[in-house]
Structure 1
Amino acid sequence: MHAASMPERHGFGYALTPVKLPPMDDLCERYTHITTRIANAARESGRPAGAVRLVAVSKTHTAQAVAQLAACGQRHFGESRVQEGVPKIAAMQDTALEWHFLGPVQRNKARLIAAHFHWLHSLESLDAAKTLSRHAAAAGTRLRALIEINVTCDPRKHGLAPAALPAFLEAYCAQSWPGLALCGLMTIAAHGGPETAVRQTFAQLRELAADSRRAFGLTDFDELSMGMSDDYHWAIAEGATIVRIGRALFGARAR
């Protein structure tokens, strides 16, 4: 696979900063190391090796970097900014990749999220759900959505408080959502926290999801997006089905 070229500027008036990429062999070696660790951690948690999906967080990195990692076998990529992600998706449209939107949903960007991304990890309001569902239905797509939970109630983070989840789900289940498929929960643990505290965060998310499935009869509410470069092995031990890894794959952010 040849690396896709990225236009220097595009319709959003935003330039992607080129970064110095590691040699292809280094990137593939890193990818193989991480996917092996994920498979081993899944087996150690009593699940099949393929039970955990890796999302390569490509924000701030170039379409060329995405193309290199796709050539190594990676298929799921995550972006946090619409104006950065959409041009990469366009540059890679000839490949069978799945794109995950990880950032906060801005109302004026909802149409682009619904039209270009396959997954959303940051649903936190019914207003956003209505807007995204409408745009996805109009585009003839169905967006797989995860509700972001601020497990530790950290005021610096996005997401619903755990105590707010039942009311959100009650209101959600009372309506029809032709453009959304609600698939599970997402959280971010405290950066650099001790293992006990981080694993407790992940365990609480797992329990919230299980309680929600039982209380609301959510048969396809099985996804747990939790764990990043420094703590994904703990997240898998606590039941993660999706881990979001950027730095450990691509290196430090470009900006």
Structure 2
Amino acid sequence: MTDLTANRQQVLNKIKNICRDCERSEDSITLLAVSKMQSAEVVRAMHATGQIQFAENYLQEALSKQNELKDLPIEWHFIGQIQRNKTRDIAAYFSWVHGVDRLIIAQRLSQHRQVDHQADLHNSHNVTEPLNICIQVNIDREESKGGCLPEELPELVTAISALPNLALRGVMVIPEAGHVDAFSRTRVLFEAVRANHANPAQWDTLSMGMSGDFAEAIAQGATLIRVGTALFGSRSASAL
């Protein structure tokens, strides 16, 4: 098995150094471990290194892992594309959702967040708490990616902010490869929304940056980075 402790410490050290250079506190960065295609055993081992926040892209895979790991105090994030028929389970079993890009999805998540959480469900999260939401923005206007267009963000923020059972926290982007300037454009967009937000203190999450570019993302204000390969190593079929 990959040396997960060493990998995580290397990532944390890099975050520390980047924050020092940017004159930011390393505590201002949340490290989210992207554990898709990793086994429950590997997730358990990574949790033992001190990692608490984990992200999954595929619902059925995530639910299976949550069932195996329900003894652990893990904060689960969903970062994949969301189909309407998946919103009930996503609302019930996750603390965060990073891929909301349509009002109808937010409305369904809000509705289903009211589902009673029985003792034998997969995780221990209390669903009476609001579901934390980040709106996905298609910052580079790629046809192959989800996300609202930048100019659509203010209207979507206003509409989602009015929904019960949700806590709208910020934005998430997946820039086109090599477009590191997308991080600065996203920050401008994020700050513009904050300036007009009814509750600016809650609008606090800039989810951007992955294994290959989180240094640039942090330099441009990222508060949450989504890291898979740098923590777990390259994914393979053996990780399933």
Tell me the equivalent position of 2:125. none
- Tell me if the contact between 1:42 and 1:50 (Cα under 8 Å) persists in the aligned partners: no
| TM-score of the aligned structures, taking structure 1 as reference length | 0.85
How far apart, in 2, do the equivalents of 1:44 and 1:96 lie?
A: 33
Paired residue total? 225
SS at match of 2:225: strand
Tell me the equivalent position of 2:165. 179
- Is residue 98 of structure 2 the alignment partner of residue 121 of structure 1? yes
Deviations 1:79-119 (A, max 9, x none): 00000011111211111110110001111111111111111
Tell me the equivalent position of 1:150. 138
- Is residue 89 of structure 2 the alignment partner of residue 112 of structure 1? yes
- Identify the range of structure 1 (238-247 vs 41-50) with the bigger mean alpha-carbon deviation: 41-50
Letter in 2 for 1:212: V
- Tell me if the contact between 2:197 and 2:203 (Cα under 8 Å) persists in the aligned partners: no
How far apart, in 2, do the equivalents of 1:142 and 1:90 lie?
A: 22
- Tell me if the contact between 2:160 and 2:168 (Cα under 8 Å) persists in the aligned partners: no
Structural RMSD (CA) = 1.3
- Tell me if the contact between 2:79 and 2:98 (Cα under 8 Å) persists in the aligned partners: yes
- Is residue 30 of structure 2 the alignment partner of residue 53 of structure 1? yes
Q: How far did residue 154 of structure 1 move?
A: 0.7
Q: How far did residue 41 of structure 1 move?
A: 1.4
Deviations 1:116-162 (A, max 9, x none): 11110101011000100111123423210000001010111110110
- The equivalent position to 1:66 in structure 2, one of 43, 61, 79, is 43
Letter in 1 for 2:216: W
State the percentage of identical aligned residues. 38
- The equivalent position to 1:211 in structure 2, one of 153, 176, 192, is 192
SS at match of 1:138: coil
Structure 1, unmatched stretches of 5+, are 1-20
Tell me the equivalent position of 1:3. none
Structure 2, unmatched stretches of 5+, are 117-127
> Which of structure 1's runs of 4+ aligned residues deviate more than 4 A?
none
How far apart, in 1, do the equivalents of 2:130 and 2:70 lie?
A: 18
